[in-house]
Amino acid sequence: MESLLYSFLAGISTSIGVVILILFGKPTEKVLATLLGFAGGIMLAISVFELMPEAVDIGSMTSALIGFVLGAGMMYLLDKVLPHSHMSDSDKLVVENEENLKSVENPMLRTGYLILFGIALHNLPEGLAIGAGLESSPELGLFIAIAIALHNVPEGLAMAGPLKAGGLSSMKIFLFTLVAGLMTPLGTAIGLLFFRISPVFVGGSLAFAAGAMIYIVNDELIPQANQMNSHFSNGGLILGLLLGFVFL
């Protein structure tokens, strides 16, 4: 239950970003860059200092390497196939693979599907990462959940603005992100069903989570943070790495 609670809170943090935008307006790019950099630093620290060494100890070097490659490879394939959105330094929502949703004629409905896909895209493997971390230790699972939540809050902030400008009501935006956030505990639940198979599988799952998170950091968090403000992004990244190194 602890793992599902952590993953649920991390998943719905995207909706928290929506609420913040509705109540207080969009934060400055310096704040967003710092938050994204900080989340990226913590996720890198977790992956390098904790997940990979633990994956080798629990499983083997071979299972750790295979798991890492599979985690990063799965994120790459999802990026190439599914429609999803990225944050931008402007008020526009940057969408990739939008042509895969051409069958949806209603533009507002299409936008809703895009935001749903965009947030849910990474939530399943992120949920698996939380579950894998908790299999190692409660502290590691909590750290991963916090890092993912920090990543999801600015994602919700960046996406809510363009969607609201496109005509969707605040309630619909909130519900879209809330439903997509539930994919995180689903990913955790799926992982928990398989973690009992063998120690080698648990070790491979830890490495899988590390590969997925490092891909997310390099593909999304760092480029987007640097685009907003590279100096604040680097400051957040360094702070996240140091805190992860000290407390993990």
Q: What is the pLDDT of residues 63-78, one digit of tens each?
A: 999 999 999 998 888 7
The mean per-residue pLDDT over the stretch 134-158 comes to 79
What is the pLDDT of the chain when averaged over all its residues? 78
- Dihedral in degrees, nearest 10, Cα atoms 107, 113, 114, 116: 150
Q: What is the mean pLDDT of residues 110-131?
A: 68
Tokens of 22: 């509705």
The C-alpha atoms of residue 163 and residue 204 are separated, in whole angstroms, by: 38
In percent, the amount of the chain with pLDDT more than 90 equals 14
Q: Please, are residues 113 and 101 in contact by the beta-carbon 8 Å criterion?
A: yes
Region 73-87: mean pLDDT is: 70
pLDDT for 36 beyond 80: yes
Q: Reply yes or no on whether the pLDDT at 11 is more than 50.
A: yes
What confidence tier does 89 reach under pLDDT thresholds 50, 70, 90? very low
**Rounded mean pLDDT, 212-224:** 86
144's CB contacts (< 8 A; 6+ apart) are: 43, 46, 129, 130, 133, 209, 213
The mean pLDDT value for 111-118 works out to 58
Give CA 163 to chain center in angstroms: 20
Torsion of CA 172, 1, 67, 177, to 10 degrees: 10
pLDDT value, residue 107: 54
Q: pTM value?
A: 0.74
Range scoring the smallest mean pLDDT among 23-37, 108-122, 214-228: 108-122
State mean pLDDT over 76-83. Answer: 72
Q: Which of 155, 220, 218, 112 is nearest to 13 (CA)?
A: 155
How far, in Å, CA of 68 to CA of 172, rounded?
A: 37
Q: Give the DSSP H/E element, type plus range, for residue 96.
A: strand 94-96
**Helix, strand or coil, per DSSP, at residue 245:** helix
50, exposed or middle or buried, with CB in 10 Å at 0-12, 13-18, 19+?
buried
Start-to-end Cα distance in the chain: 23
The alpha carbon torsion through 228, 233, 235, 240 (nearest 10 deg) reads 150
Model confidence at 158, pLDDT cuts 50, 70, 90, reads: low
AA letter at 65: L
Which tokens is 74 given?
Answer: 């799965």
